[in-house]
Amino acid sequence: MLLTAFVIVQARGRVPMLPLSLFRSGAFTGAQVTAFAISASFFAVFLYATIYLQHVLGLSAIEAGLVYLPGTILNFVVAGASSQVGEKVPHRIMISVGLALVAIGMVLFTLAGTGSSWTAVLPGELIALFGVGLFNPSVIAVALGSAPQEQSGLAAGVNDTFRQAGIAVGIAGLGALIPSAAGIGGGNPQEFVDGLHNAFLAGAGLAAAAAVASFFLIRKNNVHHEVVELPVGAEPLAQAA
């Protein structure tokens, strides 16, 4: 109800905080859709993947964090390299391929079971975080470049809002597929793992759908200006970690 009221106020206001006309741009809309999708799928499921590592495989908090270290380093390196490649490869290709790799990685996460070693999560982790490294610089460039230059700060804020909203919705939605008690010692660990697999598959489907949507929504002629160079953002990397 509040979201509906917000949209009505913004549509009728003389000086709206969020000009809805921005969403007439397929590129701007595509940047928000994909930011929401990757957060609601891959970033959101990290909560439950960490519970799996600690309560099913028996790793400590430090050990569970170290499991993510190889993928985080790969993400950092790929993001730095892809910001340069983005000058030659269209952003929509980078975004679509990045989301497709995230979807593949999430499917590979289902190889991990109750009796697996922690190394079972590495194939999915490395492929998905490689995709995140391709995705992040390009989606930021599109989010900023698809709005007029004087509204670039607004565009950045909207994109971050869609990211945060995606994580909140994703944690709730994917969590509904996972028996919570089974993950904290109150049930059968196999039930938790089965639910986690369902959550990974649902997230993979969302990421794959967003990959297709981004390819059709984001067009070069919808971008007002190009962001020449972007530093590797700390926040998306922290979310992935």
* Contact in structure between 125 and 201 (CB atoms under 8 Å): no
Tell me the mean pLDDT in the region 81-86.
Answer: 79
* Contact in structure between 192 and 56 (CB atoms under 8 Å): yes
**Structural domains of the chain, with CATH:** 69-240 (1.20.1250.20)
Taking only the tens place, the pLDDT of each residue in 16-25 is 888 899 999 9
Given a cut of 90, whether residue 44 has pLDDT beyond it is: yes
**What pLDDT score does 169 carry?**
96
Output the CA–CA distances (angstroms, integers) from residue 138 to 88, 155, 188, in the order listed.
12, 14, 42
Model-level pTM? 0.85
Tell me the mean pLDDT in the region 66-79.
Answer: 95
**DSSP letter, residue 98:** H
Question: Taking all residues of the chain, what is their mean pLDDT, rounded to a whole number?
Answer: 88
**What pLDDT score does 231 carry?**
43
Given a cut of 80, whether residue 233 has pLDDT beyond it is: no
**Helix, strand, coil shares, percent, the chain, to 5:** 80, 0, 20
Taking only the tens place, the pLDDT of each residue in 144-162 is 998 888 888 999 999 999 9
Angle at 48 between CA 179 and CA 72, to 5 degrees: 165
Residue 190, token pair as written in the block: 């196999």
CA distance 92 to 7: 28
Angle at 98 between CA 122 and CA 31, to 5 degrees: 135
How confident is residue 104, by pLDDT bands cut at 50, 70 and 90?
A: very high
